[in-house]
Chain A
Amino acid sequence: MSELGRIAVLFSLLIAGYSALAALAGTRARVPELVQSARHGVLAVCGLMTAASVMLLASFLTHDFSNRYVYEHSSRDMPVQMIGAAFYSGQQGSLLYWAWTLSIFSAVVIVQNWRRNRELMPYVIAVLMGVELFFTLMLGVVASPFERMPRLVSDGLGLNPLLYDTGMLYHPPMLLAGYMSWSVPFAFGIAALATGRLDAEWIRATRRYALVAWIILGIGNLLGSWWAYHVLGWGGYWGWDPVENAAIMPWLTGTAYLHSVMIQERRGMLKVWNLTLILITFFLAVFGTFIVRSGVISSVHSFAQSSVGPYYLSFLSLVIVGSLLLLFWRMPRLRSDNRLDSLWSREAAFVVNNLLFLGVTFAIFWGSVFPLASEAIQGSKLTVGPPYFNQTAGPIFLMLVFLMGVGPLLPWRRGTREHLVRILRAPVAAATLVTGLSVVFGVRQAPVAIAVWVCAFVVASISGEFHRGALARRSAAGEAYGRALLSLIARNNRRYGGYIAHLGVVMISVAVIGSSFFQVERQVALKPGESVEIGPYHVTYEQIHQRQEYGARVVEAPLRVERDGRVVETALPGKRFYKNFERQPASNVSIQSGPLDDLYIVLAGWQELAPNTPDPTGPVSLLLFVNPLVMWLWVGGIVLAIGTLVAAWPEPGRILAPATLPSGAHPAVGRA
């Protein structure tokens, strides 16, 4: 099986290379048969990579420990779904996953554009297959998941305990696919440069691909936060770890890209900038994959050092140099088609949007590389931790949230300050009222009050947009308010889907503000029967016990939880000890989640009667947190996804082309 897998990867490598060259040669020499065969090559690569992946999965499921990768990442006592997850838990497997999903996306793009965008597609194929070539090269030469073990073994090492979690099933595949999927808009951008077709054609062709890439990467990041929250046990969901930062940066520049391409679509401006942005985003996406998989900046994520570094660096350099060369070559043709009519316009707002997104990306990048730089300069390594990122990125994010409220109220091309003032009155008033109430109810810190104001402002502004639109539809089309609202969204899905996504972002902001500023934490040692107060909760420790589960020894400490006098469910924090990983237990964090707050409890330590036997009468050390509003982080993520789905929905047929009636037919009698 491993042999078949290895052969499949090798053939993919060859065919990807062939397709890239054939597409280029075919389009330059005007030989359509070559381009056609390149298209078929893409489909073939998809089939081969799928076969290779199936081979690896089969090796895992049949416990084929003659495969070194299977040996290192699984064992016989693992549950079936974890075995599936072990596929991408290591470097080689995750590279195979990246290359496999890229081959699928490439095939889909080819099929969807079988008859469209004829001029761009050969170059799109060349770029996509070029990237595929790079990854299959690494898979074939330095990071093969199909290596054989030198001797027979009966059982594998098993998975790192930290990965034994449902989060493992979702976060890595989403995040890796998120990185990978930016290859598609990037390929179209390069194609636009190569063909000189530099107007909005390439942007329209890739609008949905960019939205899909963006939401996959966004959800990948949210899933990572969720996983960190309920696995790592330090009470938070984002630690500004270098790998986390590497994952959020392409998403931030991708968000800037989504907005600024709208300007090029409507007004033919910012052409150079959009190409630059998609290049930066793709670069950061590959860079993020590199950081996660090479251990260059070590973090919670680096489970292996590796030899793929030089490959990645060469690829990244090639991408940068090649793209910049193309960009400079085409620069004369990238002039703006229009002028800015007014500073109080949506174009100007989108430019500020880009400035802030790139600014926050730079701040995060700066803080992430500074420790390395300081080590190189003065020998000792400075630590740039969460306090830096919270204080620099925080305010910029808040300004972006504010812009979400103002931007939609600005018209394209020409707005006036008077108009803006008039339309801002209601949201400003609503926000001030809400902030006032929040101060009355206990908000005392200025940053929090400002943040509350901004979030309320945005909610009011967006709600106003929905309301005005629905009212207009009601009076024009005679629909009831509810129906008007729905048809408003259906007929203007790009706009209102965007608004829904913005509401999701506000929910996430509210969650971040609540949990950052109002978190309560306590560390206590409790004997059986003793209790502790934290926030609105009263927690009583009962008695520690131990059990077996899936080849792990689990130690648990049941806690009775009461809120405002009423008993809530029993909390069960604990630790899991896996065979081969006795000194690295995984935490079972107890999280009781509600719309107002989460009660988050970690079992930090306990006394032992004898090795591996907890003392049922001894004290336990507990770490307790009350994390307000964290639930809204996940709810906001779902709303964000819904909004994106609405925005990406295929649009109802436009009424631009007048219909011609066959002779003799009667036009519809006017209904009034």
Chain B
Amino acid sequence: MRALARWLGLLLCALALVGSAPVARADSLDDQVRQIAKQLQCPICESVSVADSPSELAGQMRALIRKKLEAGESEQQILDSFVAAYGDGVLTEPPRRGLSLLVWIGPVIGLAFGAAIVWLVLRAWRRAGSAEAEPSGVSRNGAADGVAVTASLDGTLGTGADDEYLRRAMGELERARRGLGG
């Protein structure tokens, strides 16, 4: 347990050192236009950003972005001006406000809901009665048990839980295979 704590501590220190560096920004004007255009959705095409769209409107939008950059506007100002003109739908990343906040919350709620169900199921399993309660269940699984035996052997063999047991089991299996004229 102590050792684990030490390793975890090391890991956390390492991560702290790394931190989150800003992504290197492009230098030329062309690249800057492209970076901004990538965050805007082409209003008339499907599933294509303004940066990648071959349409005329996208070309005009890219020219407008370039003009604004030359005039000294910041990236956020340019994006905001497009949102003012076309609405929130022009951004490829849905904003975290209003109705579109729901799209971000959805998966979180979904996972939390799922996790709750998993928790309940795991708890119910730990308390549930075993196969003895239903005799028909045993006979139905009679054939399955044969498989289960080799399967659980299979399971133990791979974990390295106990190397000595592993070696002995492997040896016995090998002898058995050979003994049957293999």
From A267, A446, A473, A654, give the contact of B15 (CB < 8 A). Answer: A446
Cβ–Cβ contact A199 & B103, under 8 A: no
Q: Is A200 an interface residue (CB 8 A)?
A: yes
Residues 18 to 38 of chain B near chain A (Cβ within 8 Å): 18-21, 23, 26, 28, 30-31, 33-34
Q: Please provide the chain A residues from 595 to 613 with a CB less than 8 Å away from any CB of chain B in the complex.
A: none
Among B153-170, those with CB < 8 Å from A are: 154-161, 163, 166-168, 170
A380 to B89, CA, bound (A): 7
In the assembled complex, the Cα of A348 lies from the Cα of B125 at a distance in Å of: 10
Chain B residues 94 to 138 lying within 8 A of chain A, measured CB to CB, are: 94, 99-100, 102-104, 106-107, 110-111, 114-115, 118, 121-122, 125-131, 134, 137
Shortest beta-carbon distance from B131 to chain A in Å? 5
Q: Tell me which residues across on chain B come within 8 A of A446, comparing CB atoms.
A: 15, 18-20
Interface of B is mostly: helix
> A638 on the interface (CB 8 Å rule)?
no
Q: Do A439 and B122 contact each other (CB < 8 Å), given the known contacts A382-B100, A388-B93, A444-B21? A: no
**Contact residues in A for B160 (Cβ distance below 8 Å):** 423, 464-465, 468
Residue of A nearest to B123 (CB): A340
Question: How distant is B26 from chain A, measured CB to nearest CB, in Å?
Answer: 7
Chain B residues positioned under 8 Å from A525 (CB to CB): 30
Q: Tell me whether A476 and B167 are in contact (CB under 8 A).
A: yes
Beta-carbon nearest neighbor of B180 in chain A: A659
| Min CB gap A175→B, angstroms | 18
Q: Is the CB of A337 within 8 A of B141?
A: yes
Return the chain A residue nearest B130 by Cβ. A339
- Docked complex Cα distance between A667 and B159 (Å): 35
Q: Point out the residues of chain B lying under 8 angstroms from A200, CB to CB.
A: 144, 147
Task: Report A-chain residues with C-beta under 8 Å of the C-beta of B161.
Answer: 411, 419
Determine, out of A234-242, A246-254, A286-294, the stretch whose residues face the partner at the interface.
A234-242
Are A654 and B150 in touch, CB under 8 angstroms? yes
Whether B157 lies near A359 (C-beta < 8 A) is no
Q: Does B4 contact A (CB under 8 A)?
A: yes
Do the beta carbons of A385 and B88 come within 8 Å of each other? Answer: no
The number of A-B residue pairs with CB atoms under 8 Å apart is 240
B94 and A412: CB pair below 8 A? no
| Given contact pairs A363-B107, A366-B106, A383 touches B41 in the complex (Cβ within 8 A) | yes
Partner of B93, one of A242, A377, A385, A469: A385
Contact of B110 among A348, A366, A409, A450 (CB under 8 A): A366
> In this assembly, does A307 line the interface, its C-beta being within 8 Å of a C-beta of chain B?
no
In the complex, the answer to whether A366 meets B107 with C-beta atoms within 8 Å is: yes
- Contacts A338-B130, A367-B103 given; does A299 touch B93 at CB 8 Å: no
Q: Is the CB of A359 within 8 A of B111?
A: yes
| CB of A626 to closest CB in B, whole Å | 12
A283 to chain B, nearest CB (A): 18
Question: When the two chains form their complex, are residues A384 and B94 in contact, meaning their CB atoms are under 8 A apart?
Answer: yes
**Chain B nearest CB, measured from A62 CB (Å):** 36
Is A29 located at the chain interface by the 8 A CB criterion? no
List B contacts of A370 (CB < 8 A): 94, 100, 102-103, 106
Q: Does A359 contact B107, Cβ atoms closer than 8 Å?
A: yes
Contact with B along A328-354 (1 / 0, CB 8 A): 000000011111100100101001100
Quick one: which of A339, A367, A444 contacts B18, CB cutoff 8 A?
Answer: A444
Bound CA span A504–B15, Å: 27
Closest residue of chain A to B30, judged by CB? A523
The residues of B that contact A352 with a CB separation of less than 8 Å are 118
Query: Is B150 within 8 A of A656, CB to CB?
Result: yes
CB distance from B137 to the nearest CB of A (A): 5
The 6 closest A-B pairs by CB, nearest first: A385-B92, A476-B170, A387-B93, A363-B107, A340-B125, A444-B21
30 example contacts (A-B, Cβ-Cβ < 8 A) are as follows A199-B141, A234-B52, A267-B148, A337-B131, A339-B130, A348-B122, A351-B118, A355-B118, A362-B111, A363-B110, A367-B106, A371-B89, A383-B41, A412-B156, A419-B161, A425-B3, A428-B7, A432-B14, A445-B21, A449-B15, A468-B160, A472-B167, A476-B168, A477-B170, A492-B157, A655-B176, A659-B181, A667-B179, A668-B178, A670-B179
